[in-house]
């Protein structure tokens, strides 16, 4: 069945040892593609083929950079906060996208129909390998989309053509393709092997070099942030709602076209204990380092995080501890945090059994800031998929407010800009329903020389506009440093 002479022809000219190894590896894919071709013709519709193999040590950041020429504008990256999982997606076998309020179920339905006739080989990989979707959602599908976010749908997931996945130190490379009934599987096999060889070879040669950078911050109307915080705190005191998270955006104009690979490298080096993410859509790139998990599913175990209430890090260990202690004892921050725990508890208790939540928050420290933190775990109910849980939780009061509907309406009316994917769920999930989502804070949208950064604060009745404004500066810091050490003085 398999036309192996194609591959013999293609591999001719490589070193003998490499030829044998490449041939053995490509054979599996070739056979799978041949079976897929048959299935696609029989069904008269495209069939998803997903083939995974183990690969030798390669730096995921170099692999991401290696995709620049072949797959520019079509790259994704994800790392969880302890770097147990790292994913690099290059190229797209397919984008699963939806707009409007039913985006969660629309994505789930389309993903299921792609999987129905899929050929996945081998089936027993670690959970981050194989057919995996990487992407995210917008914050508010009812907010009119701005030009800035034009290339980001309300739900947009990339099924990578090539997926490098690292989990617990094991590296795999997956090739995904939606094989058309009239497509030559032989040509696809040759192209896949060619691309994989190029990417691996480039990634092994390449280290991401950091170039000096300078830029100018354009902070438009900082007073308007003071005004909306004041107004929202007033509404809260009058009892209209309990909490709202208000954000502002800021532009940074760099003196060069920004390289997502370099920004990612700096985030990677500087932001331990944060989720890292990159989602390119054409000439735009959404990138960040978020400390906040929304929800993770592994088997039937669900984990979420309440993260709200903030204070800067200290300059000495003693000062750091004092600030942490002050945060733990601060009434305003404890109220902000308690509202988040209350909402996530409700969501977990309606969807899970065995829900466990500690009584009091602990501190979660990242490079520039410390937060109040409460972990939440539970056992998923029979109908509780990961995306259903994402939908149930988004936005938590750490990103939207409480009650949910009133706070999102207030944000829509008062904030004065489109959040796009800022503060929304971003992450990945696989064909078995496992995966993880974080919330896209400490983030920015890159477009050529410009970066648009976002930061927000939880507002309660006794919030002070000056200190909330100062807090946004602390929250801008991770992205400002990652752009190459831009500071507040660069205005």
Ligand X SMILES: C=C(O[C@H]1C=CC=C(C(=O)O)[C@@H]1O)C(=O)O
Active site residues: 243, 292
d(CA 183, CA 19): 26
d(CA 130, CA 124): 9
Exactly one of 50, 74, 310, 481 binds ligand X (CB under 6 A); which one?
310
In order, the DSSP letters of 326-378 are: HHHH-HHHHHHHHHHHHHHHHHHHHHEEEEE--SS-EEEE-SSEEEEEEEEEE
Quote the least distance from Cβ 282 to ligand X, whole Å. 25
* 270-309 positions binding ligand X, by CB under 6 A: 292, 307-309
As annotated, the binding site for Mg(2+) includes 336, 471
Quote the least distance from Cβ 16 to ligand X, whole Å. 55
Exactly one of 245, 341, 446, 479 binds ligand X (CB under 6 A); which one?
245
**Residue closer to ligand X, measured from CB, 423 or 452:** 423
Nearest CA to 189 among 19, 37, 12? 37
Exactly one of 90, 159, 399, 451 binds ligand X (CB under 6 A); which one?
399
As annotated, the binding site includes 336, 471
Bridge partners of 296, per DSSP, are: 303, 436
**Residue closer to ligand X, measured from CB, 130 or 397:** 397
Q: Residue 441: helix, strand or coil by DSSP?
A: coil
d(CA 388, CA 466): 38
- The helix (H) or strand (E) run that includes residue 175 is strand 170-179
**Residue closer to ligand X, measured from CB, 261 or 291:** 291
Give the burial class of 285: count Cβ atoms within 10 A of its Cβ; 0-12 exposed, 13-18 middle, 19 or more buried.
Answer: buried
- The helix (H) or strand (E) run that includes residue 157 is strand 155-167
Quote the least distance from Cβ 280 to ligand X, whole Å. 22
Nearest CA to 61 among 177, 202, 159, 176? 202
Contacting range for ligand X; rule: CB under 6 A; set: 23-31, 207-215, 404-412, 449-457: 449-457
Exactly one of 35, 143, 475, 477 binds ligand X (CB under 6 A); which one?
475
Residue with tokens 């190894």: 21
Whether the CB-CB separation of 165 and 171 falls below 8 Å is answered with: yes
| Residue 303: both structure tokens together | 């984990």
**Residue closer to ligand X, measured from CB, 131 or 425:** 425
Exactly one of 378, 433, 458, 478 binds ligand X (CB under 6 A); which one?
458
Exactly one of 179, 390, 398, 482 binds ligand X (CB under 6 A); which one?
398
**Residue closer to ligand X, measured from CB, 130 or 456:** 456
Nearest CA to 49 among 127, 130, 112, 138? 130
Quote the least distance from Cβ 232 to ligand X, whole Å. 13
**Residue closer to ligand X, measured from CB, 59 or 468:** 468
Contacting range for ligand X; rule: CB under 6 A; set: 61-69, 120-128, 226-234, 451-459: 451-459
Exactly one of 411, 455, 479, 483 binds ligand X (CB under 6 A); which one?
455
Other Cβ atoms less than 10 A from the Cβ of 12: the count is: 8
CA triple 364-369-375, angle to 5 deg = 20
- Pairing of β 284-290 and β 75-79: unpaired
Contacting range for ligand X; rule: CB under 6 A; set: 124-132, 348-356, 387-395, 453-461: 453-461
Quote the least distance from Cβ 123 to ligand X, whole Å. 38
Exactly one of 441, 452, 453, 483 binds ligand X (CB under 6 A); which one?
441
Interacting residue ranges for ligand X, rule: CB under 6 A:
245, 247, 292, 307-310, 371, 398-399, 423, 441-442, 455-458, 475
């Amino acid at each position: 069945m398999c036309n192996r002479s194609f591959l013999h022809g293609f591999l001719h000219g490589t070193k003998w040892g490499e030829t044998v190894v490449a041939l053995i590896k490509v054979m599996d894919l070739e056979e799978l593609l041949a079976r897929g071709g048959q299935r696609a013709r029989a069904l008269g519709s495209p069939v998803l083929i997903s083939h995974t193999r183990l690969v030798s040590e390669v730096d995921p950041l170099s692999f991401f950079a290696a995709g620049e020429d072949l797959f520019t504008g079509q790259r994704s990256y994800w790392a969880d906060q302890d770097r147990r999982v790292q994913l690099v997606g290059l190229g797209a076998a397919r984008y699963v996208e939806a707009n409007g309020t039913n985006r969660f179920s629309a994505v789930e339905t389309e993903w299921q129909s792609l999987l129905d006739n899929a050929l996945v080989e081998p089936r027993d990989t670690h959970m981050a390998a194989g057919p995996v979707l990487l992407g995210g959602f917008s914050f508010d599908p009812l907010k009119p989309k701005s030009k800035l976010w034009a290339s980001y749908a309300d739900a947009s997931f990339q099924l990578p053509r090539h997926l490098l996945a690292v989990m617990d130190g094991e590296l795999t490379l997956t090739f995904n393709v939606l094989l058309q009934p009239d497509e030559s599987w032989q040509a696809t096999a040759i192209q896949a092997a060619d691309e994989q060889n190029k990417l691996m070879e480039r990634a092994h040669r390449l280290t991401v070099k950091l170039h000096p950078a300078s830029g100018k911050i354009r902070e438009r109307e900082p007073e308007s942030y003071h005004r909306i915080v004041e107004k929202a705190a007033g509404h809260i005191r009058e009892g209209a709602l309990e909490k709202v998270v208000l954000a502002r955006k800021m532009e940074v104009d760099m003196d060069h076209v920004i390289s997502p690979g370099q920004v990612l490298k700096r985030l990677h080096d500087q932001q331990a204990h944060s989720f890292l993410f990159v989602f390119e859509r054409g000439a735009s790139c959404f990138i960040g380092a978020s400390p906040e998990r929304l929800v993770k599913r592994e088997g039937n175990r669900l984990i979420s995080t309440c993260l709200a209430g903030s204070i800067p890090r200290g300059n000495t260990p003693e000062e750091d501890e004092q600030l942490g202690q002050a945060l733990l004892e601060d009434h305003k921050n404890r109220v902000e945090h308690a509202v988040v725990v209350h909402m996530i508890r409700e969501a977990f208790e309606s969807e899970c059994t065995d829900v466990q939540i500690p009584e009091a928050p602990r501190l979660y420290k990242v490079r520039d800031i410390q937060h109040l933190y409460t972990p939440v775990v539970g056992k998923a109910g029979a109908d509780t998929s990961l995306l259903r849980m994402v939908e149930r939780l988004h936005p938590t009061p750490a990103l939207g407010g409480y009650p949910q509907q009133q706070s999102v309406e207030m944000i829509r009316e008062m904030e004065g800009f489109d959040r796009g994917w800022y503060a929304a769920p971003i992450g990945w999930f696989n064909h078995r329903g496992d995966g993880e989502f974080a919330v896209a804070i400490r983030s920015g949208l890159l477009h050529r020389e410009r970066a648009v950064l976002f930061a927000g604060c939880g507002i309660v009745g006794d919030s002070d506009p000056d200190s909330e404004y100062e807090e946004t500066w602390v929250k801008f810091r991770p992205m400002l440093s990652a752009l190459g050490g831009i500071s507040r003085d660069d205005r």
